Amino acid sequence: MLRLATELAAPIPRAKRAPGKQSDAKVSQASQVAREAKATTSPASPVAKPAPPAQKTHAALAVAPEAARIDKRVDVTPRESAESGFRRAMSLVNQGRMAEGMDELKAALAADSGYELARQTLVALLLEAKRTSEAAGLLQEGLAINPANIAYAMLLARIHVERGDPHGALALLQKSEASAHGNAEYHAFVAAIYQRLGRHSEAVERYQRALRLSAGVGAWWVGLGISQEALSRPQDATESFHRARGTGSLSPELIAYVERRLKQLR
């Protein structure tokens, strides 16, 4: 088409006139053909003129990049967006840019509220920054999404205890009871709250459940001994304090406390 248009646009070279009638006839015949060709390409003809080649070329070039951009577009899932935000957040936190890192974690949760790694990390950073109310709000949101998350329930219960609300902490933990059957730390935490409330029989039962699952935690043996002593069970308390000392896991403060209790119980 480009070649044909160029040829039509170019001037038609004149034929050399040769002497004689035959030449005149050929010229006359050529003129007649030219007139017919002109008539078929006149404005009255129903055949549309082809678009200028340059315009067609530019149109094709204008469309091609747009099509390429559409073809290369890739959909990103909410989880992928959250994971990308989490990586940026960790990079910022590692540089000491805590505020920016926390903003990225919030953006990650806005993209995918069920992304627990971002929520756990943000809660930890908020607690470290003493922004307890914000941390509690995030934990409540997390429990609304996943009520079976024992870690969220225990953290939120600990905040209640620190605020002087052990009853609220206990009520919260009891809602998670069904999901915490084999969780030793959960039972020990519930036992400690019962002990703080003066409900020592329930505290003993919970400490015993925790120690059946993990017998090497000395602090839980100490807690058991305290509640047994409060229930006037000195022999049981003495045994529990000895077991606590035998774990080798007590802090210096707890070792000193156990020694004092054992002297009192002799």
Q: Give the mean pLDDT of 232-250.
A: 97
Residues in the chain: 266
Sign of the CA dihedral running 13, 18, 24, 25: negative
pLDDT-derived band at 70 (thresholds 50, 70, 90) equals: low
Instruction: Report pLDDT for 236.
Output: 98
Q: Give the mean pLDDT of 134-159.
A: 97
Residue partners of 101: CB distance under 8 A and separation at least 6: 89, 90, 91, 92, 93, 125
Environment class of residue 164 by beta-carbon count within 10 Å: exposed (0-12), middle (13-18) or buried (19+)? exposed
Instruction: Report pLDDT for 113.
Output: 96
Q: How far apart are alpha carbons 55 and 76 in whole angstroms? A: 38
Q: What is the pLDDT of residues 17-47, one digit of tens each?
A: 444 444 444 434 444 434 443 443 344 344 4
Q: How far apart are alpha carbons 158 and 173 in whole angstroms? A: 10
pLDDT-derived band at 75 (thresholds 50, 70, 90) equals: confident
pLDDT-derived band at 66 (thresholds 50, 70, 90) equals: low
Q: What is the pLDDT of residues 171-227, one digit of tens each?
A: 999 999 999 989 999 999 999 999 999 999 999 999 999 999 999 999 999 999 999
Q: Is-contact 254 219, C-beta < 8 A? A: yes
Under DSSP, is residue 21 helix (H, G, I), strand (E, B) or coil? helix
Does residue 55 or residue 41 have the better pLDDT? Answer: 55
Q: Which of 1-15, 60-74, 141-155 has the highest mean pLDDT?
A: 141-155
Lowest mean pLDDT among 58-62, 79-83, 218-222: 58-62
Does the pLDDT of residue 52 top 60, yes or no?
A: no
Q: Is-contact 151 132, C-beta < 8 A? A: no
Does residue 47 or residue 89 have the better pLDDT? Answer: 89
Instruction: Report pLDDT for 130.
Output: 96
Mean pLDDT of all residues belonging to the chain: 82
Instruction: Report pLDDT for 36.
Output: 44
Please state the CATH superfamily assignment of the domain spanning residues 182-266 in this structure: Tetratricopeptide repeat domain (1.25.40.10)
CB-based contacts of 46-51 (< 8 A; 24+ apart in sequence): 50/1, 50/5
Q: Smallest Cα–Cα separation from 231: which of 203, 210, 197, 208?
A: 203
Taking CA atoms, 133 is separated from 130, 170, 171, in Å, by: 9, 19, 19
Q: Give the mean pLDDT of 104-109.
A: 97
Instruction: Report pLDDT for 60.
Output: 47
Q: How far apart are alpha carbons 65 and 115 in whole angstroms? A: 37
pLDDT-derived band at 235 (thresholds 50, 70, 90) equals: very high
Q: How far apart are alpha carbons 119 and 3 in whole angstroms? A: 67
Instruction: Report pLDDT for 74.
Output: 73
Domain spans of the chain, in order of start:
182-266
